[in-house]
Amino acid sequence: MTAAQLDERVTAFLAAHPDTSDEIGYLRARFDAGLAWVHYPVGLGGLDAPRSSQRAVDARFVAAGAPTNDPGRIGIGLGMAAPTVLAYGTAEQRARWLRPLWTGEEVWCQLFSEPGAGSDLAALGTRAVRDGDAWVVDGQKVWTSMAHEARWAILVTRTHPDLPKHRGMTYFVCDMTAPGVEVRPLRQATGEAEFNEVFLTGVRIPDAHRLGEIGDGWSVARTTLMNERVAIGGASEPREGGMIGIVADTWRAHPELRTAGLHDRLLRLWVEAEAARLTTERLRLQLAAGDPGPEGSGAKLTYARLNQEISGLELDLLAEQGLRHDEWTMRRPASVDFTTRSPGYRYLRAKGNSIEGGTSEILLNVIAERVLGLPPEPRVDKDTAWKDLPR
* Amino acid symbol at 293: G
- Residue 290: pLDDT above 70? no
Stretch among 17-26, 113-122, 149-158 having the lowest mean pLDDT: 113-122
Average pLDDT over residues 106-116: 95
- Residue 328: pLDDT above 70? no
Q: How far apart are CA 377 and CA 196, in angstroms?
A: 32
Average pLDDT over residues 345-371: 87
- Residue 357's CB is within 10 A of a number of other CB atoms, namely 24
Give me the pLDDT at residue 292, please.
58
- The answer to whether the beta carbons of residues 301 and 233 sit under 8 Å apart is yes
Stretch among 183-187, 189-193, 196-200, 228-232 having the lowest mean pLDDT: 228-232
- Residue 259's CB is within 10 A of a number of other CB atoms, namely 10
* Number of continuous H segments (helices) and E segments (strands) in the chain: 12, 8
- The answer to whether the beta carbons of residues 198 and 182 sit under 8 Å apart is yes
- CA distances, 123 to each of 65, 138, 210, 272 (Å): 47, 15, 20, 36
Q: Please name each of the domains of the chain with its CATH number.
A: 3-103 (1.10.540), 108-215 (2.40.110.10), 234-371 (1.20.140.10)
**Can you say whether residue 184 is alpha, beta or left, with left for phi > 0 and alpha for psi between -120 and 50 degrees?**
beta
Give me the pLDDT at residue 125, please.
96
Give me the pLDDT at residue 236, please.
64
Computed from CA positions of residues 236, 240, 243, 244, in that sequence, does the dihedral angle turn out positive or negative? positive
pTM of the model: 0.86
Question: Which residue among the candidates 149, 197, 228, 309 is catalytic per the annotation?
Answer: 228
Whether 228 is catalytic is yes
Q: Which long-range contacts (CB under 8 A, 24 or more apart) does 53-58 make?
A: 53/1, 53/3, 53/6, 55/236, 56/3, 56/6, 56/7, 57/6, 57/10
Give Dmax over CA atoms of the chain in angstroms. Answer: 71
Average pLDDT over residues 318-331: 72
Q: How far apart are CA 247 and CA 391, in angstroms?
A: 44
Give me the pLDDT at residue 260, please.
86
Q: What percent of the chain has pLDDT over 90?
A: 62
Give me the pLDDT at residue 287, please.
61
Q: What percent of the chain has pLDDT over 70?
A: 92
Give me the pLDDT at residue 377, please.
83
